[in-house]
């Protein structure tokens, strides 16, 4: 599966993408905001991510910027039996709206796959991710839960969000 947004192209990772993934994710400031990325993040980790099998109901993508290449990743996973959105953008591309744009693309994909509800979360010390989630229509559940962070080596407080995909795209907040 592939997806084109206004500025980005989302595509599945290929094994040969490992170096581009390593370039963007070998940054403690990025890895520590993710649940499943280790720190330090090395070649074997990038090769494993680039070769990860796709689940057709929960696809994951590399976020690419035409003319630049891989700038991050976004996709669907599963947490506590529920479909969950996740994303990361390399530090060099923070603050340009790419996470928001990629997140909206994943919401569109989830809706097209028939998902009715998505969950998400962000570590309490990463409020920028909460802003992204709000921009793409997620609402805080009012719950903060402990989630494991491989990079941090333990449990970290996470602010939980949800999105009812029964809402129409017109009801979701637009680009800011």
Q: Which pLDDT tens digit goes with each residue over 59-114? A: 999 999 999 999 999 999 999 999 999 999 999 999 999 999 999 999 999 999 99
Specify if 118 maps to a domain.
yes
Question: Which stretches of 26-97 are DSSP H helices?
Answer: 28-31, 43-50
| Structure tokens belonging to residue 18 | 């490992």
* CATH code assigned at 71: 3.40.630.30
Specify if 176 maps to a domain.
no
| 41-55: pLDDT as tens digits | 999 999 999 999 999
Write down the pTM of the prediction.
0.92
Sign of CA dihedral 11, 171, 160, 93: positive
The number of folded domains in the chain is 1
Please tell me the number of Cα atoms within 13 Å of 18 on its side-chain side: 14
- Domain enclosing residue 140, as ranges: 3-171
């Amino acid at each position: 599966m592939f997806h084109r947004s206004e500025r980005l192209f989302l595509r599945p990772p290929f094994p040969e993408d490992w170096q581009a993934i390593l370039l963007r994710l070998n940054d403690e400031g990025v890895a520590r905001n993710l649940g499943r990325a280790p720190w330090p993040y090395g070649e074997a980790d990038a090769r494993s991510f680039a070769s990860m099998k796709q689940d057709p109901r929960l696809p994951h993508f590399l976020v690419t910027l035409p003319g630049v290449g891989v700038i991050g990743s976004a996709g669907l996973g599963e947490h506590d039996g529920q479909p969950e959105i996740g994303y990361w953008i390399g530090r060099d591309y923070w603050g340009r709206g790419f996470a928001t744009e990629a997140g909206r693309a994943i919401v569109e994909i989830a809706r097209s796959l028939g998902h009715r509800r998505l969950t998400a979360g962000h570590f309490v010390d990463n409020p920028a991710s909460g802003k992204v989630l709000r921009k793409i229509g997620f609402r805080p559940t009012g719950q903060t839960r402990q989630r494991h962070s491989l990079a941090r080596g333990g449990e970290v407080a996470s602010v939980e969000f949800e999105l009812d995909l029964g809402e129409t795209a017109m009801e979701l907040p637009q680009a800011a």
